[in-house]
Amino acid sequence: MITLREILASRGKLVALTCYDYPTALSLDASTVDLVLVGDSVGTNVLGYRDVSEVTMDDMLHHARAVRRGLKRASLLVDLPFNSYQTGEAAILNGKRLIEAGADMIKLEGGMELVAKIRALRSENIRVVAHIGHTPQSHVGTRKVFGTTASEIESLLEVSKQLQLAGSEAVLLECVPERVATIISDRLDIPTIGIGSGSGCDGQIFVITDLLGWHHPNFRFSASFDDFRNRTVATANRFAHEVRDGVFPSATQVYKVKDSELQQALDAGQEKDL
């Protein structure tokens, strides 16, 4: 299996998107996106949960399997959800479950406490991406920029270095000031993947529903490359209009039956009082 560092070397930049279902996976696999993430953001973007802390291992396994079925080319990264890796043993147990569901590598978020867990996972040959900076599982309901004070910057520099030494294949930086993220990227030998952390990262990741315009979040780093929600509404309205006007289904969209077969069935039914 090709590593993220090898992809970066061949592509120049890593490109990643979240994905939660089979048809989207097919589309992303047909694109030039390098990495697909089944994130715990499935909870708020697909399942209607209030926040990511409600997402369970069963949720992640279900969606990981669906996405895996649609991928042949792109690498698959899957989140360990909230409360599923409190210890190294739990991280290994649940990490193996995600690998069995089709993940190529798993992602977990936190800080220095991840070092021992990543070492444990690597001892079982489980590939890992560490997520630092803003960590949604521990900052429910808020989005905090991390790395604006000297102490926070020092912490990010030290943590990222230790995560690399522990065996993390990449570091995902969320909501880290651009200059800080660039320094981290320059100092690490492994790739950095940014979200809301500027162009100095080795790659970028984005939430697919935001990218397509399904949702319209107000984060500073938000961007919509399509207006899929309004196009979906318009298409659904056109369908409803054609149904109500008797246009759909048309004569070419229905199945036929021979007159003789229909009459034979009706005659037989009449005899049986059907």
Q: Is 174 a catalytic residue?
A: yes
Q: Is the pLDDT of residue 202 over 90?
A: yes
Q: What percent of the chain has pLDDT over 70?
A: 95
Measure the CA–CA gap between 160 and 164, rounded to whole angstroms. 6
Residue 218's pLDDT band, with cuts at 50, 70 and 90, is low
Q: Which of 174, 178, 261, 271 is catalytic?
A: 174
Residue 144's pLDDT band, with cuts at 50, 70 and 90, is confident
Measure the CA–CA gap between 107 and 118, rounded to whole angstroms. 10
Q: Which of 1-5, 189-193, 216-220, 221-225 has maximum average pLDDT? A: 189-193
Mean pLDDT confidence for 18-34 = 97
Measure the CA–CA gap between 194 and 183, rounded to whole angstroms. 13
Mean pLDDT confidence for 70-91 = 98
CA distance to 132, 135, 164, 217, 257, per residue, from 18 (Å)? 17, 16, 23, 15, 46
The pTM (predicted TM-score) of the whole model is 0.90
155 labelled binding-site residue: no
Q: Which of 205, 157, 159, 155 has the alpha carbon at shortest distance from 184?
A: 157
Residue ranges of domains in the chain, CATH in brackets: 4-226 (3.20.20.60), 230-271 (no CATH)
109 labelled binding-site residue: yes
Tens-place pLDDT, residues 86-133 = 999 999 999 999 999 999 999 999 999 999 999 999 999 999 999 999
79 labelled binding-site residue: yes
Averaged pLDDT of the chain:
93
Q: Is the pLDDT of residue 64 over 90?
A: yes
Q: Are 10 and 191 in contact (CB under 8 A)?
A: no
- Residue 274 has a pLDDT of 67
Cα 191 from chain centre: 18
